[in-house]
Amino acid sequence: MTRAVFACLLLIVPAIAGAQSDDELFAEALLPLPDYLKDGATVSIRNDDGRPRIIQEGTSGLRCSPDGPGPGFLVSCIDDSSGPVLQEFRRLLAQGRSPQEAMEAVSAAARADRVATATPGGMIWILSGESRSNLIPMVGVLVPYATGESTGLPEKPTPSRAWLMCPGTPRAHIMIGPIPYGLSEEIGWQACAPTDGGARSDEALIAEATSPLPEQMKIDATVVATDRDGNRRVLRQGSNSLVCSPDGPADGFQASCTDGGLLSSGDVPTALVEYGRLKARGLPEKEILATITAGVRAGTLASMPAGAMHFILSGADRASAEQLIVVRLPDATEESTGLLTQPSPDHAWLMFPGTHQAHMMIGAPPYGWAENK
């Protein structure tokens, strides 16, 4: 079983079938369950091509998987209500996210109601060990968003008591029994704690945040990280007008550097600051833009000054991210600028023409533009 995928008990994936017969896989997958639950469980495996295959279609809402390739032995049965979280996690892993980054993004999506959380009280049954002859049983109970304060449970592994893993998150669950084999502290219970940008150092966040800039501009830029509650923390105070931010919890990858004039306008919050706050909460792009437009029209948000610039690195993941430069032109139109209003590979073009968000784009559209325009 790949232990990186076992970063959280809700993130176990069906095993890939090997040389075992279906009868052997079926019996193995059901090992964690008491006898009275075995008849009603669904048993799922993945064929050699990675496609899922159902051996038994159940009625109880539990889905069981046999052991997979790799060191150690682990079989699991998980409540079906955790399916949306599992699917989103796997999708993010496929984009190249680390398990930690994927879990953070899943949490943001669940808080924004874009991913359904598990049903409270749903069960997890696990049997794991270094080998099949030395197995440890463990039971988990799904309690999304539960905390140590709300349950009275300790929030760290405890040998003689039930304890709460991933407290305060959509993945929160009560652990009953020893820690499963292969669940290290580095990618286990500690990885569930809310973080500002994951477990990365400030130096790593600064390097990521300034990655869109030309080399000669990086050293003098201010770097700010925004947590999931919209609180901003200065990682480095710079001397030029640019303020850079690392990638956040939303889908895809985006690091950006922005003219400081977009971030400060006296006592009135700027549209860009509000954008960052809403983005950190994991809200959909269309909802963010509608909220900002309403705020600017009502005078509760300051509009963006003409000529202010963004440097952005954006893509489905960091490896595929592409560079673009944005120049703010509030209320500009195709007629007033002569620019095209559709993406062009060899010309600058105008995005959101005729609105306070209008800006000239130099380079590829940002990741997700087609879905959010």
Confidence label for 31 from pLDDT (cuts 50, 70 and 90) = very high
Q: Tokens for 120, please give them.
A: 């409270």
Buried b (16+ CB within 10 A) or exposed e, 50-73: eeeeebbebebebbbbbbbeeebb
221 touches 256 (CB < 8 A): no
Q: Which residues pair with 124 in a beta bridge?
A: 78, 140
At 120 the pLDDT is 92
CA distance 135 to 116: 32
**End-to-end CA, the chain:** 41
The average pLDDT across 132-153 equals: 88
At 268 the pLDDT is 62
Pick the residue with more confidence: 295 or 198? 295
Say if strands 253-259 and 309-315 run parallel, antiparallel, or are unpaired: antiparallel
Pick the residue with more confidence: 13 or 178? 178
Angle (CA) 79 82 83, round 5°:
105
Q: Which residue has the tokens 């990858």?
A: 253
At 288 the pLDDT is 81
Mean pLDDT estimate for the chain: 78
Please give the model's pTM, rounded to 2 decimal places.
Answer: 0.49
At 227 the pLDDT is 64
Radius of gyration, alpha carbons of the chain: 24
181 alpha carbon, distance to own chain's centre: 25
Percent of the chain with pLDDT over 70: 77
Confidence label for 154 from pLDDT (cuts 50, 70 and 90) = confident
How many CB atoms are located within 10 Å of the residue 127 CB? 22
1 touches 182 (CB < 8 A): yes
CA distance 247 to 198: 10
Nearest to 127 by CA among 178, 76, 175, 165: 76
The average pLDDT across 332-337 equals: 92
Choice among 109-123, 282-296, 331-345 with the minimum mean pLDDT = 282-296
Confidence label for 249 from pLDDT (cuts 50, 70 and 90) = low
**pLDDT over threshold 80, residue 190:** no
At 141 the pLDDT is 94
**pLDDT over threshold 50, residue 14:** no
Confidence label for 200 from pLDDT (cuts 50, 70 and 90) = low
**pLDDT over threshold 90, residue 308:** no
At 172 the pLDDT is 85
The average pLDDT across 265-288 equals: 71
